Amino acid sequence: MSEADFQGRNVLVTGGSRGIGRACCERLARAGANVAVNYHGNREAAEETARRVIAAGAEAVTVQCNVADEDAVQTMVTQINEQLGPIDMLVNNAGVFEYVTPETTSPDHWRRTIDVNLTGTYLVTWAVKDQMIERNFGRIVNMSSISALRSRPYGIAYAASKAAVIAFTKSASVALVEHNIRMNAVAPGLIETEIIDDVDQATIDRIVGETPMKRIGQADEIADVVHFLLSEASRFMIGQCLVASGGRVMLP
Give domain status of residue 116, yes or no: yes
Q: Respond yes or no: is residue 99 known to be catalytic.
A: no
Dump pLDDT digits (tens) for 228-243. 999 999 999 999 999 9
The strand ranges marked E within 67-224 are 89-92, 138-143, 181-188
Q: Are 222 and 191 in contact (CB under 8 A)?
A: yes
Give domain status of residue 15, yes or no: yes
Length of the chain, in residues: 252
3-state DSSP call for residue 192? Answer: coil
Overall domain count for the chain = 1
| Domain at 212, CATH number | 3.40.50.720
Instruction: Considering the candidates 99, 122, 154, 158, report the single residue annotated as catalytic.
Output: 158
Domain that holds residue 96: 10-244
Task: Tell me which DSSP letter residue 36 carries.
Answer: E
Using a 10 angstrom Cβ sphere, with 0-12 exposed, 13-18 middle and 19 or more buried, the burial of residue 240 is middle
On the question of pLDDT at 3 being above 60, the answer is no
**Sign of the four-CA dihedral 244, 250, 251, 252:** positive
Give domain status of residue 81, yes or no: yes
3-state DSSP call for residue 91? Answer: strand
Give domain status of residue 5, yes or no: no
Give domain status of residue 42, yes or no: yes
Q: What is the pLDDT averaged over residues 165-183? A: 98
Give domain status of residue 4, yes or no: no
Give domain status of residue 146, yes or no: yes
Dump pLDDT digits (tens) for 94-152. 999 988 899 999 999 999 999 999 999 999 999 999 999 999 999 999 999 999 999 99
- Predicted model pTM: 0.96
Using a 10 angstrom Cβ sphere, with 0-12 exposed, 13-18 middle and 19 or more buried, the burial of residue 83 is middle
